[in-house]
Structure 1
Amino acid sequence: MTYDIVLCMHPSHKNIAVKTIKSLQYFLDGQKFFVITSQDAFTALKEKVDRNVPLYFVDENTLIEDFDLSEVKKAMLEEMGRNDRANWYFQQYLKMAVALHPEIGDYYLIWDSDTLLLRRIEFFDESGKILFNPMKGGSQSYFDLIKDALGIERQVEYSFINEHLMIKKALMVDLIHTLEEKAPENMSWVRYLIHSMGRQKFSYLGFSEFETYGNFAAYHHKDMYKPRVLKTARAGAEFFGMNPDKYDYFRLMRNGYSLISFEFRHRTSTFKVIKEKMKSRVYYYKYQVKGENKALRHNAIQMSN
Structure 2
Amino acid sequence: MRLIFAGTPAVTIPALDAIADSQHELVAVVTRPDAPAGRGRRLVRSPAGAWADERGIEVLTPQRPREPEFQERLRELAPDCVPVVAYGALVPPSALEIPKHGWVNLHFSLLPAWRGAAPVQHAVLHGDEVTGASVFELEAGLDTGPVYGTLTEPIGPHDTSGELLERLATQGAGLLVAVLDAIADGTARAHPQPADGVTLAPKLTVDDARIRWGDPAFGVDRRIRACTPAPGAWTTLRGDRLKLGPVRAVANAAPLKPGELSVERTQVLAGTATTPVVLGEVRAAGKKPMQAVDWARGLRIQAGETFE
TM-score, L = length of structure 2? 0.31
Q: Which structure is higher in strand share?
A: 2
Q: Which structure is higher in helix share?
A: 1
**Higher RCO (Cα < 8 Å, 6 or more apart):** 1
TM-score, L = length of structure 1? 0.31
Greater C-alpha radius of gyration = 2
